[in-house]
Structure 1
């Protein structure tokens, strides 16, 4: 099957080509740097499926443009699917596939890295030492062992992160509308969201972006957090109200913030902006805070995770071609 792969970076080509070759090279993968939109859908002419990423537009306009070209499958190379208009896909008869789990440990470990870097000011110390400055002023951290870590969303990634923090000697509490006994078996416990915000020294977000979780961490939630607490988001940018977060940083209610995602990251993340001015004033304001550490949606970026993503994506394409249904289809919910 011919597949149009959008938002393709060099690593996408490398890992998808390897997975396709290992599966017998059944699919003809055509790569495009462009994001998928209604306007760029024409690039998929002649293909039977498209492969999309987190910042591609799988909305009604794009799906209609794809459907008119005979596209019957959109294979997401991601776990999240908040960028998909399911009603439109259902009406147009376009199947949606995803990668439900690739490497929970990859994101969990990146979350821990953000916490450690923020707390011990590793990023600032690195720059300082490179300039020959070996003073310790401004680098004071706190001992993580014995602290309370609150996990919002105790799915695969949340559970993997809980294991790490329990290993550090932390008390782990979690909020999830669908609690799993696995967390309690590890030594964590479930509490209400309000109790989690009130008692956590570190709050880490690991929930999907849905209508119910959009701006879950808003001004009200931030106001309930322990004064000076650390907030980490490696889930989806829209879970946090960025303007409310900036206000909480300005008032020193929030002590430290680590972000691997941003609600308006499209056009910024995964792009080289080093030679251009950043036009997003809200994001630029975030960068001015010394107690904010931002990475560009790289939590998933390990060789193991990319291998799993590519292999599952190829398996979805093959199953759809052979059986008319992808291996991991998304159930339409709207």
Structure 2
């Protein structure tokens, strides 16, 4: 079979060589493109003879998948697959596997970091120290003992809840499907309305789907406490970010820590959240640590090995 990796995975090429050596030893042809492209014609050329494709977060739209006449399996080095042309994958019965679990701890740790940064004014404190100022105006709030609303109780949501539990936080949860594992952590499931009204910290962990796009709209944001903060390290478009910026600027909520937006960075200068009050912004780095990037690459290749052996892993329902 012809197996192609369409973009770099953020690891050294020596690691790609190691991970692909077993494929080559079994007689498969492995092709690695070490430069990303979003050019549709170039992507069509790359995929046209592939039986298996591996990608990260580079868009692979329906028209590209349509041109991949031999494609049977797609291994995505990411959690979400909203950047993949799922309509064509369904038509062609293509198996899609994701890299589930590679960044659970990495994302959860950044959520905690963003939370502490927002509550303790760390960015403002850094600026004050460098500019000869004092503690004035920088008295913040503890995480300890707060009520935390986990919106989406999948793997990352549960890992985040575990870390907040170490701060002696009360855990509320909302999800379309309740998880026994979440309940065992101590998450109490409530309606989204109750969660937003009661939480001091709201942390989003939903995938981006047709149902979740714009999920946290102006009406829902209006339910939050004026003292509450919002953390989003999931997907930007699950929030009405214009409404969020307005709520921040009008002091309807106390702050926000955001790693995701309506587009991938670089963010346009006129984007409202760049100018919103009491925000800490990071450029979609929650998933990225040296440890997680290696895990991601290994899982992506392991998915292919499993599929070739008739034991597919991390298969997505779409």
Residue of structure 2 equivalent to 1:89: 89
Residue of structure 2 equivalent to 1:317: 304
> How far 1:106 moved relative to its partner?
1.4
> How far 1:90 moved relative to its partner?
2.2
Tell whether 2:172 aligns with 1:173: yes
The Cα RMSD (Å) is 2.5
Equivalences for 1:294-333 in 2 at 5 Å?
294-323=281-310, 326-331=312-317, 333=318
More divergent stretch after superposition (140-149 vs 178-187):
178-187
- Aligned counterparts of 1:184 and 1:120: Cα–Cα separation in 2: 29
Tell whether 2:214 aligns with 1:210: no
Aligned with 1:291 (options 273, 278, 289): 278
CA contact (8 A) 1:197 1:225 kept: yes
Deviations 1:121-154 (A, max 9, x none): 222323443x352511232211221211111011
Is the alpha carbon distance of 1:256 and 1:63 closer, same or farther for their aligned partners in structure 2, counting shifts above 3 Å?
same
TM-score if structure 1 supplies the norm length?
0.85
Residue of structure 2 equivalent to 1:11: 11
Unaligned runs of 5+ residues in structure 1 are: none
Deviations 1:19-54 (A, max 9, x none): 335888766341243245633312345543322223
Residue of structure 2 equivalent to 1:192: 191
- Aligned counterparts of 1:13 and 1:233: Cα–Cα separation in 2: 32
- Aligned counterparts of 2:51 and 2:169: Cα–Cα separation in 1: 50
CA contact (8 A) 1:238 1:262 kept: yes
Unaligned runs of 5+ residues in structure 2 are: none
Equivalences for 1:232-251 in 2 at 5 Å?
232-251=231-250
Deviations 1:280-306 (A, max 9, x none): 632xx3222341111122112123322
CA contact (8 A) 1:19 1:307 kept: no
Tell whether 2:54 aligns with 1:43: no
Residue of structure 1 equivalent to 2:159: 160
- Aligned counterparts of 1:126 and 1:19: Cα–Cα separation in 2: 42
Is the alpha carbon distance of 1:317 and 1:264 closer, same or farther for their aligned partners in structure 2, counting shifts above 3 Å?
same
What secondary structure is seen at the aligned counterpart in 2 of 1:39? helix
Residue of structure 1 equivalent to 2:78: 78
- Aligned counterparts of 1:114 and 1:22: Cα–Cα separation in 2: 40
- Aligned counterparts of 1:184 and 1:293: Cα–Cα separation in 2: 30
Tell whether 2:218 aligns with 1:219: yes
Tell whether 2:66 aligns with 1:58: no
Deviations 1:263-283 (A, max 9, x none): 222xx2xxxx5xxxx54632x
CA contact (8 A) 2:11 2:297 kept: no
CA contact (8 A) 2:6 2:46 kept: no
More divergent stretch after superposition (145-154 vs 26-35):
26-35
- Aligned counterparts of 1:279 and 1:112: Cα–Cα separation in 2: 27
- Aligned counterparts of 2:14 and 2:196: Cα–Cα separation in 1: 42
Is the alpha carbon distance of 1:22 and 1:94 closer, same or farther for their aligned partners in structure 2, counting shifts above 3 Å?
closer
Aligned with 2:32 (options 30, 33, 37): 30
Deviations 1:82-136 (A, max 9, x none): 223323112234332211222411111110011011111222323443x352511
Tell whether 2:270 aligns with 1:281: yes
Is the alpha carbon distance of 1:23 and 1:63 closer, same or farther for their aligned partners in structure 2, counting shifts above 3 Å?
closer
- Aligned counterparts of 2:278 and 2:89: Cα–Cα separation in 1: 42
CA contact (8 A) 1:34 1:40 kept: no
